[in-house]
Every structure is written in structure tokens, then in C-alpha cells.
Amino acid sequence: ATPTALLVGTGRGAQMGVLIKGPEVLESTRKVDTVVLDKTGTVTSGKMTLVEVITEPGVDRAELLRLAGALEDASEHPIAQAIAKAATQEAGTLASAEDFANLEGKGVQGVVDGHAVLVGRESLLAEWSQRLSGEVASAKARAEGEGKTVVAVGWDGAARGILVVADTVKPTSKEAIAELKALGLTPVLLTGDNEAVARQIASEVGIEQVIAEVLPQDKVDVVARLQKAGKVVAMVGDGVNDAPALAQADLGLAMGTGTDAAIEASDITLVRGDLRSAVDAIRLSRKTLSTIK
């Protein structure tokens, strides 16, 4: 390939909001056949809002929201921000959490007002033998079937209820996925979120392959596994937890709206945080390389 054509290509990319780290990156996009997409913040806006609070019998709704909110106030996760915001709106100033710990890909724990509080995946609470009642568990399944994200809340040794938050698919994601498929690429949705939520979001945007309930440190292994199976993988992500997978992929694309760690680990930054820019990047490289050939 002539360096000039590649340089022209990277220049054109910049005009479209596709920042390419070096001219050689364009060549690696050519062979890509699989596009792994992180869900939260990539396919979806990542801006969650609290839509429902469901308590176990005898639990005070306001107390549940207040304790969960105080704990989540210390976390930067989109789920946490939605909960903290709703709790602040209802309760005013939140208590501060002691002994706060962020359990990557699982949830948070800490002490609020003398209560040992857990907020996160149902499986995290189960590690502490805190189990939801049948009634609350079925409300959880119903909400997840609607594509919403549900986190469980427990304190002092028992599960106390669930909080339902909803994220929304970015308006341009569906169109971008259709275009990726039209280019002959296979999209795969990758997320730490549960299977039901992942399937619902995938069906909204037209993705058939879903890999869900993947812990942050395992995302990189999913990419490596696809590569071992002979796939040439592009990965699109935004989060700190996507960074190793973005670096492992044959082509890493970071949302410009995402974290610095994701941007640093990637070959390409999509300035607008719009999935259609990933399609632009792949089209651009194909065009650039065909002028060279």
C-alpha cells in the first residue's frame, strides 16, 4: 500500500469524526469479519434512569432507596448514577458510605447508617446467602424481559428488594447494525449484563449473536476465543472494562464519549460516539485500500 493513499484516508477519516491512530490501522480493518459490540454506552446511551422500586414484604421503599442511593453515590457506574440521582431527588442529601468497595462487574458494598448494604447482581447477594422471595424474583424476571436492568438490594443479611433501571438504545444503533451486516460483517453483542436484557437489546437493534454475563476481566478472553476460531475481530467499546478487549481485538474502536482507558487502548476513536461512525471507518478503509490495489 502506498503511504500517501493511507494518509489521505486517515485525513478523510478525521473530517468524518473517525480518528485513526496511524495509517497502518486502515490495513487491519480490511480483513475484519466480526464486530463485537459492548452493550452499555456503545449500543445503548448508557444513561440510565430509575423506573421502579420493588420491596420485599415489610421493607420501607424510601429506606431501600435511601440506603442503596447512599452506597451508589460512591460509584461511577451508569446504574449507580441513576440510583443515586433518584435517591437524592427523593431524600435530599444522602448519607455517606463507609468501607465502600466496588466489586467490578458485580455491584457495590459498604456500610450506610450502620447497615451492611449490598447493591448489585442477584448472584452477588446470593454469595452472601441473601435471596429474593419468589414474588420479587418474578417481578425481576418480568422487568428483564422488557429489556430493563434490575439490581438487587440487601442489607444486614437479607435481600430487601430490587431497583429497576432502564437504558435506551441510541437512535442510530439499529441503522448502524443493518449497515454492518450489509457490509458482510457479523455483529456480536458482548455484555456483563444478564442474558434476558442482552437478548432484548439485541433484538431491538437486529443482532443475533449475544454473549452475556461476561465479567469485565473475561471480555478479553471472548475476543481471543473468537480469534482462535479464525475470526478477524473488531471490537467497539467505551468503558474502562472494555480496554483489554479493545487492545486484544484486531481492530479496536472506542467511543469518543467513553473513558480515556478505552480510547488509549484503541486504534480508532469515534468522536461522535455514534455507531454509524464504525461503519464509516470500515467503509473508508475499504475504499482507501481499493484505490491502492
Binding site for ligand ADP (CB under 6 A): 39-40, 72, 75, 77, 79-80, 105-108, 119-121, 149, 151, 191-193, 216, 239, 241
CB of 255 to Mg ion, least distance (A): 9
Residue 34 interacts with which of ligand ADP, Mg ion, none, CB < 5 to 8 Å by class: none
Compute the distance between CA of residue 176 and CA of residue 280 in angstroms, rounded to an integer: 9
Smallest gap from Cβ 41 to Mg ion, in A, equals 4
- Give me the catalytic one of 33, 38, 238, 260: 38
Q: Compare residues 105 and 147 and give the one whose CB is closer to ligand ADP.
A: 105
Nearest distance from residue 56's CB to ligand ADP, in Å? 18
The three cell numbers of residue 91 are 431524600
Cα–Cα distance measured from residue 99 to residue 176, given in angstroms and rounded to the nearest whole number: 43
Cα–Cα distances in angstroms (integers) from residue 191 to residues 15, 16, 56, 233, in the given order? 31, 28, 28, 16
What's the DSSP call for residue 217? G
Q: Residue 9 or residue 273: which is nearer to ligand ADP going by CB?
A: 273
Q: Closest separation between CB of residue 288 and Mg ion, Å? A: 29
Please choose which of Mg ion, ligand ADP, none residue 258 contacts, taking the beta carbon within 5 to 8 angstroms, the exact cut-off set by kind: none
Closer to ligand ADP at the Cβ: 234 or 262? Answer: 262
Q: What is the DSSP track for 142-160?
A: HHHHTT-EEEEEEETTEEE
With CB under 5 to 8 Å by kind, the binding choice for 253 among ligand ADP, Mg ion, none is none
Nearest residue to Mg ion, using CB?
239
| Residue type present at position 188 | V
> Smaller CB distance to ligand ADP: residue 151 or 202?
151
Binding mask 227-246 for Mg ion (x = CB under 5 A): -----------xx-------
- State which residue, 28 or 194, has the beta carbon closest to ligand ADP: 194
| Residue 80 contact partner, candidates ligand ADP, Mg ion, none, CB within 5 to 8 A by sort of partner | ligand ADP
Note the helical H segments in the chain.
3-15, 23-29, 61-72, 78-91, 122-127, 134-145, 173-182, 195-205, 219-228, 243-248, 260-265, 276-292
Looking at 29, 34, 40, 257, which residue binds Mg ion (CB under 5 A)? Answer: 40
Orientation of helix 195-205 relative to helix 173-182, angle to 10°: 70
* CB nearer Mg ion, residue 219 or residue 276: 219
Binding status of residue 41 toward Mg ion by CB under 5 A: yes
Closest contact distance (angstroms) between CB of 124 and ligand ADP is 7
Q: Look at the alpha carbons of 209, 214, 216, 221 in this order and tell me if their dihedral is positive or negative.
A: negative
CB of 221 to Mg ion, least distance (A): 17
Backbone region of residue 188 per phi and psi (left: phi > 0; alpha: psi in -120 to 50; beta: other values): beta
CA of 229: how far to CAs of 4, 232, 246, in Å? Answer: 34, 9, 18
What is the distance between the alpha carbons of residues 133 and 21, in angstroms, rounded to a whole number?
51
Q: Is 38 designated active site?
A: yes
Buried b (16+ CB within 10 A) or exposed e, 241-280: bbbbbbbbbbbbbbbbbbbebbbebbbbbbbbbbbbbbbb
Q: Where does this chain bind Mg ion (CB under 5 A)?
A: 38, 40-41, 238-239
Q: Which residues are catalytic?
A: 38
